[in-house]
Chains A and B, each alone.
Chain A
Amino acid sequence: MTNALIDFVLVSVALLAIGIYGLSVKRNAIRMLFAVEMIVNSANLNLVAFARFIPNSQGQTLALFSIAIAAAEVAVGLALVIVAYRMYKNIDIADFRSLKG
């Protein structure tokens, strides 16, 4: 392998940090979903990278399961965004008042 394990792990850390930034700063519900996708993808990249360097097939299997779960999560998340948009006519999460405790 020309690329070492640490390069892939550093890319995944950068993606994780960008995802955390998006989750903490953005108030748009769809952009927050983007950030969640980035965090999930950085975890998948880590799984496959370690599976390549150990080497082991279980990491790839877990990554496949994780991708499928993420697909389900996005479907439900977008449905929730649509329901909230119908109620409040907005996708700003600060406007979703009845979700506050």
Chain B
Amino acid sequence: MVDSIFLALSVLTIGCAIASLEIRSLIYGSIALMLTLSGIAGFFLLLDAPFVAMFQLSVYVGSIAVLILFTVMLVRRELIFNKIEDTRRRYAGIGLMIIVMLGIGTIIIGSGLKSMDTNAPSVDYKKIGEDFLTYYSPALIVMALILTSSVIGALTLAKREDVTSDQRAN
């Protein structure tokens, strides 16, 4: 059976996920997204993965959510509260969500995952550090290159000159 912490975390995570998509203001939406990501970090703590949880907190909640918040603030004010969507498309989306949830949910509940339980001790996070520096060190270097190139790419994109739509037509 699940314990109360798990229940509270799942209500927080899923509730804030829905709120971040449905709430009218984009600023409150990004704060709700921040809470969703913190809820996921709580799940990582429940799964005895403190290293991944702290990484999640520092990368997602610390940097990505703040980056999104600042981007939202750069956008004009009426666009933040603007909410244009097709009603039929919305109902189709809700139907698709329920189909995905029920379909994959029934498959998972019917599978053998239900009986899977473990009493084994959790993985020591020192082992992860060792893995990173020995077996995964080439992947770590490639990761550093990808991060550098993405930062340079983002800077180049954002630094572009202002192109108006009539200039673009020529």
Are A and B a genuine interacting pair, yes or no? yes
Q: What residues make up the interface of A, taking CB atoms closer than 8 Å to B?
A: 1-11, 13-22, 24-28, 30-31, 33-35, 37-38, 41, 44-45, 48-49, 51-58, 60-61, 63-65, 67-76, 78-83, 85-92, 98
Partner pick for B143 among A3, A65, A80, A87, CB 8 A cutoff: A65
Look across to chain A and name the residue whose beta carbon is closest to the beta carbon of B102.
A17
CA distance A67 to B23 in the complex (A): 26
B92, chain A: closest CB distance, angstroms: 8
Q: Shortest Cβ distance from A29 into chain B, in angstroms?
A: 10
With contacts A25-B93, A28-B26, A49-B47 taken as known, whether A92 is within 8 angstroms of B158 at the C-beta atoms is no
Are A57 and B127 interface neighbours, CB within 8 A?
A: yes
**Chain A residues within 8 Å of B76, by CB:** 89
CB–CB B153/A79 < 8 A: yes
Q: How far is the CB of A71 from chain B (nearest CB, A)?
A: 5
Main SS of the interface on chain A? Answer: helix
For residue B67, give the distance in angstroms from its CB to the closest CB of chain A.
Answer: 6
Q: What's the minimum C-beta distance from A48 to chain B, rounded to whole angstroms?
A: 5
- Check B49–A72 contact: CB distance below 8 A: no
Q: Contact between A6 and B3 (Cβ–Cβ < 8 Å)?
A: no
Known: A4-B116, A5-B113. A60 touches B123 (CB 8 A): yes
Question: Size of chain B's interface in residues, with CB distance under 8 A?
Answer: 91
Shortest Cβ gap from B115 to chain A (Å): 9
User: What are 20 pairs between A and B in contact, CB < 8 Å?
Assistant: A1-B119, A2-B2, A2-B3, A4-B114, A9-B113, A14-B14, A19-B17, A20-B97, A21-B21, A21-B97, A41-B40, A44-B52, A44-B56, A48-B44, A53-B116, A60-B52, A64-B132, A72-B146, A75-B150, A75-B151
**Contact check: which of B14, B21, B104, B132 meets A61 at CB < 8 Å?**
B132
